[in-house]
Structure 1
Amino acid sequence: MAIQFETLEYDVGGIKTVVKAIGKGKPVLFLHGAATLEGFDFAEGLADRFRVLCASHPGFGFSGAAPHVAGMSDMVLHYLDLLDILDLPEKPHLIGFSMGGWMASELAGVARERFDRMVLIAPAGLNDPAHPATNLGEVAPQDLPAYLAHDVSVALRYFPDGSDPAFAEAFGADRAREGETLGRLLTPFGMGHPNLRRFLARITNPTLIVWGTEDRMLPVSQAPLWVEALPDARLILVEDAGHFVQQEKPETLSKIGDFLAG
């Protein structure tokens, strides 16, 4: 049975911005990674306690084109504007996954007072040369699922298998569209910011770092760096999980929910 989301649409500075919402309770803003191929179905695991707002970034997923995007600061400004429009009744929690973790870090670094607690799931952004991320340019397309999940069958759910040409065509078009926006987003510094630790030092919000022990995209050895850089952080390591922690080990969402509930 398909998970039922509300579809909310806003005009944010002339950009059609689509938010998939599910659940009731204190709001949680979720920022996705560098693609939307895995969707937002994981949010059902939080919807019993929270109203989860899964926004598609400008130029990604369900949202409109964003030819103005030239770096992460444009995304930060976009989400500050979206928060103004949403005018939520209370401070939302903030969750960022992968590239969305980097985005959440810059967002909370400049506007920590807009959020309650924060969760970073396998966040990108630090670009520490001693703990290098995988260079996706060196990964063959057919090998990518094995970099996204330790149990590759979990990642393969989201990729074309040759049985549906229309899905394969749409999948390719979506990845090309998102890849074009991503390229402009990464032009200044690549997948991160050289001064990201300065942003992290400002985030006094209680923060949970979540990382799969078998992550082949962003090494789990980065996790202690985030804990050390954040003033109030704790860490959950998820055994036998790759980059897609919330899809591969959905029981982790219960722990995330417990943290957010305080």
Structure 2
Amino acid sequence: MSEAPPPDVATADVPAARPSATPLPPLVPLLPPWPGEQLPIRGGKVFVRTTPWTGPVGGDGGDAPRERALYVHGLGGASTNWTDLAALLAVRFDGWALDLPGFGRSQPPPRGRYSMRGHVRAVIDVLEHVADRPGDAQGRPVHLLGNSLGGLASLVAAARRPDLVATLTLVSPAMPVYRVPPAFSRALLLLLVPGIPSVAARRMGSITPEENVRAMVRMCFGEPGRVPPERVQQAIAEMRERAEQPWAGHALTRSMRGLITSYLRVGAANAWRAARSLRPPTLVLWGARDKLVDPSMAPRLASAVPDARLAILPRAGHVAMLEDPEATARAVLGMVEETAACRGPRAAVEIPRSVRR
């Protein structure tokens, strides 16, 4: 059932991503999280942060493109994972970053079912909301960016609703590999056993926010020693807030179980089949030092997607948008600018009302 991925991430039979030369604003050190609000979706609410469009650096923005983007975090993450990248991409995008059900400030899903299907449904619901908001870009597809579990959910959402997605950016998406990554304990497979996720959630509740954050930094970052201490403290404060929510442990362990379960799907529900059916222009972006999802998966995925380009960041790990937001922003903007140039002045296609909610 498994296939060995190509051993060399430096070569792939797909185009390399062309970074944009668009001027980007300087990043403010320790930029605070963007404000947000609760948004109704099917079966509940999710918390969504918004990053307003700024227009070009040093320009008046009169004729500048103003489009919309949605950011989807990974397992154990939150909308704040996109704070810096959204600030850079605000030269072109109004941005929305959601907390998936049970993560960040979002309520848990109905009956506590943390399935991949539920996460995909939440992404589609928020895409519809973003596309329908009043403004110049109303009714047009949205640029969708996802990391890890959020990357997988975004891929499936884009395959199901291509009318909603202008471009797709996948940052180390959690594609099925049918084996446990070396950074994980094989005990994670026990999450498939009924009752085990509840036990795991209780055990995780005994880990302090400080221990949790430092372990995540070691696991997710390509160069953990380069993470500023102030950023670590900011993450610890956020983790303390999250730990106060009674469902926090369940959200992580049951979403992991839902992710592993999704790997066992075959047919139309399989993620690799969905990748081969993608219609939007797609950027596959990976950190060469990713310890969670093997970087050799990057060229395999890019080769499977019909209109893909590939970017490998040599010093980044699993969360490139946090580790190297400028390189990530330039890769995203490069794809968007290339797509717009190919389609002409009217780069975005309006969503037919017949397929809207």
Counterpart of 1:73?
Answer: 117
- Aligned pairs for 1:238-253 (under 5 A) are 238-252=313-327, 253=329
For residues 41-95 of structure 1, give each alpha carbon's deviation from its aligned partner in whole angstroms, at most 9, with x where no partner exists: 2221211111111011111112122243341111222232333334141110110
Preserved CA contact (<8 Å) 2:152 2:173: yes
Number of equivalences: 257
1:170 maps onto 2:241 in alignment: yes
Match of 1:254 among 330, 334, 337: 330
Counterpart code for 1:19: V
Match of 1:185 among 243, 251, 255: 255
Match of 2:48 among 10, 15, 19: 19
Instruction: Give, in angstroms, the shift of residue 180 of structure 1.
Output: 1.0
For residues 192-251 of structure 1, give each alpha carbon's deviation from its aligned partner in whole angstroms, at most 9, with x where no partner exists: 534211111110211001111111121211111211221111110101111121222122
Counterpart code for 2:161: A
Preserved CA contact (<8 Å) 1:160 1:171: no
For residues 158-207 of structure 1, give each alpha carbon's deviation from its aligned partner in whole angstroms, at most 9, with x where no partner exists: 5459xx8x777435446x74441233334355175342111111102110
In our comparison, the structure showing a higher alpha carbon Rg is: 2
Whole-angstrom CA distance in 2 between matches of 1:167 and 1:31: 18
TM-score, normalization by structure 1: 0.85
Counterpart of 1:61?
Answer: 104
1:105 maps onto 2:155 in alignment: yes
- Unpaired segments of 5 or more residues in structure 1? none
Match of 1:31 among 54, 62, 72: 72
Match of 1:135 among 184, 188, 200: 184
Counterpart of 1:9?
Answer: 38
- Unpaired segments of 5 or more residues in structure 2? 1-27, 54-65, 189-210, 265-269, 339-357
Structure 2 residue matching 1:64: 3-state secondary structure? coil
Q: Cα distance 1:91–1:85, how it changes in 2: closer, same or farther (>3 A)?
A: same
Structure with greater strand share of residues: 1
Preserved CA contact (<8 Å) 1:151 1:241: yes
Match of 1:119 among 166, 169, 194: 169
Match of 2:146 among 78, 86, 96: 96
Instruction: Give, in angstroms, the shift of residue 156 of structure 1.
Output: 6.0
Q: Cα distance 1:47–1:10, how it changes in 2: closer, same or farther (>3 A)?
A: same
TM-score, normalization by structure 2: 0.64
Task: Tell me: higher relative CO, structure 1 or 2? Use CA pairs within 8 A at least 6 residues apart.
Answer: 2
Aligned-residue RMSD, C-alpha: 2.9
Whole-angstrom CA distance in 1 between matches of 2:275 and 2:309: 14
